[in-house]
C-alpha cells in the first residue's frame, strides 16, 4: 500500500516541499498549527491596512525561484524607493530588484498551497516511530518532513538539542496620522547591535495597502532585543520600539 508523507509546517519551504513531493508521485498531507499558510511570509489586515509582517519583499535570486514566480504568480510590483541605513547611506540589492505581491506577500503561500491536502489549526505535539512507519495525530506515515523552526523540530523528533541556532524576531506595526515626509525612502536598516531595532519599513510604498491619510511602519526588532523580550507582554517592549523608530525616521 502506498504510504503518505506528512509535511509539518505550511510556510514557503514546507509548501514547496509538499508540491515537489506531490509532483514526484507521493501522497502528501500538510499540517499547520496556525489558521493560515505562509509562516514568516505573513500578511495581516490591520486597522483596515494590508500589512506584510514578515517577508517584506522578494528578490528572486535563483533562476528556479524566478521561474516559479513567473509560472505561478503575476501580481507583483517593484519597490522603487531606496533602502537606507541609519546613516542614510544607500543599501544596494546585489540579488536584483526588490518587489512585493499586490494582494499581500503571503499570497505566494496561498498559491503554493493550491491542490494540497492541507490541515490548518493542527498542532503536532509529538511523533512516534514504529515498524509500520511514523505515527502522527492518529495516523501512520511512511515519512515525515519538518519545516518548522529548528528548536521545535528538535522537540518533535526528541533530539537533545537544536541542530542550528534559531533567531527570533519581534515585530511591531505602528500607525501614524498623516503621510509625513517618508515618500523618498522605503526602509531604514541598522547593523546588528544591541539597539532595539534591526529594520523599519514604511508600508505606504506598496500601492493600495494603506487607507486614508495614515503612515504605517513594520518594525523588526534586533535579535538581541527579540531574545530579551521574547516571552514578555507587548506593553513592556513596544514603548522602546516606538521611541527607537521615531528616532530612526527623525
Q: Write the pLDDT tens digit of every residue in 16-37.
A: 999 999 999 999 999 999 999 9
Q: Cell digits for 49?
A: 491596512
Judge whether 107 and 206 are in contact, CB under 8 Å.
no
Q: Cell digits for 71?
A: 509560472
C-alpha–C-alpha distance, residues 65 and 46, integer Å: 29
pLDDT above 80: residue 182? no
Task: Give the confidence band of 2 by pLDDT, cuts at 50, 70, 90.
Answer: low
C-alpha–C-alpha distance, residues 240 and 243, integer Å: 5
pLDDT above 60: residue 1? no
C-alpha–C-alpha distance, residues 113 and 64, integer Å: 18
pLDDT at 242: 96
> Can you give the length of the chain in residues?
250
Show Cβ contacts of residue 171 under 8 Å, excluding neighbours closer than 6 positions.
Answer: 53, 54, 218, 219, 220, 221
Q: What is the mean pLDDT of residues 52-75?
A: 80
C-alpha–C-alpha distance, residues 156 and 101, integer Å: 33
Judge whether 209 and 244 are in contact, CB under 8 Å.
no
User: Checking DSSP bridges between strand 4-8 and strand 27-31, what pairing results, if any?
Assistant: parallel
Task: Give the confidence band of 192 by pLDDT, cuts at 50, 70, 90.
Answer: low
Angle at 208 between CA 204 and CA 212, to 5 degrees: 70
pLDDT at 59: 86
- Listed in sequence order, the DSSP H helices in 175-233 are 223-229
Which range in 87-91, 97-101, 183-187, 220-224 is most confidently predicted, on average pLDDT? Answer: 220-224
110 dihedral zone (left: phi>0; alpha: psi -120 to 50; beta): alpha
51 dihedral zone (left: phi>0; alpha: psi -120 to 50; beta): beta
H/E segment holding residue 188 = strand 187-189
pLDDT at 208: 87
pLDDT at 85: 87
Task: Give the confidence band of 73 by pLDDT, cuts at 50, 70, 90.
Answer: low
C-alpha–C-alpha distance, residues 57 and 113, integer Å: 20
User: Checking DSSP bridges between strand 214-221 and strand 197-202, what pairing results, if any?
Assistant: antiparallel
What does pTM read for this prediction?
A: 0.86
Show Cβ contacts of residue 106 under 8 Å, excluding neighbours closer than 6 positions.
Answer: 36, 37, 38, 41, 42, 43, 52
Amino acid at each position: 500500500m502506498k504510504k503518505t508523507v506528512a509535511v509539518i509546517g505550511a510556510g514557503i519551504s514546507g509548501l514547496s516541499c509538499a508540491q515537489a513531493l506531490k509532483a514526484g508521485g507521493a501522497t502528501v498531507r500538510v499540517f499547520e498549527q496556525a489558521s493560515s499558510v505562509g509562516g514568516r511570509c505573513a500578511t495581516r489586515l490591520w486597522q483596515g491596512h494590508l500589512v506584510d509582517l514578515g517577508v517584506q519583499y522578494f528578490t528572486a535570486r535563483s533562476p528556479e525561484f524566478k521561474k516559479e514566480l513567473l509560472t505561478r504568480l503575476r501580481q507583483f510590483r517593484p519597490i522603487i524607493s531606496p533602502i537606507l541605513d541609519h546613516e542614510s547611506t544607500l543599501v544596494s540589492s546585489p540579488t536584483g530588484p526588490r518587489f512585493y505581491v499586490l494582494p499581500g506577500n503571503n499570497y505566494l503561500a496561498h498559491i503554493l498551497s493550491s491542490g494540497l491536502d492541507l490541515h490548518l489549526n493542527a498542532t503536532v505535539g509529538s511523533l512516534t516511530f514504529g515498524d509500520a512507519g511514523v505515527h502522527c495525530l492518529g495516523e501512520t506515515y511512511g515519512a515525515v518532513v519538518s519545516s518548522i523552526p529548528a528548536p521545535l523540530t528538535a522537540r518533535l523528533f526528541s533530539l537533545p538539542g537544536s541542530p542550528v541556532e534559531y533567531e527570533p524576531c519581534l515585530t511591531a506595526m505602528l500607525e501614524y496620522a498623516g503621510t509625513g515626509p517618508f515618500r523618498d525612502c522605503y526602509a531604514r536598516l541598522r547593523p546588528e547591535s544591541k539597539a532595539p531595532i534591526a529594520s523599519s519599513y514604511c508600508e505606504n510604498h506598496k500601492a493600495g495597502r494603506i487607507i486614508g491619510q495614515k503612515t504605517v511602519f513594520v518594525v523588526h526588532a534586533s535579535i538581541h532585543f527579540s531574545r530579551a523580550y521574547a516571552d514578555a507582554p507587548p506593553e513592556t517592549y513596544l514603548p522602546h520600539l516606538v521611541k527607537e523608530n521615531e528616532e530612526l525616521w527623525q
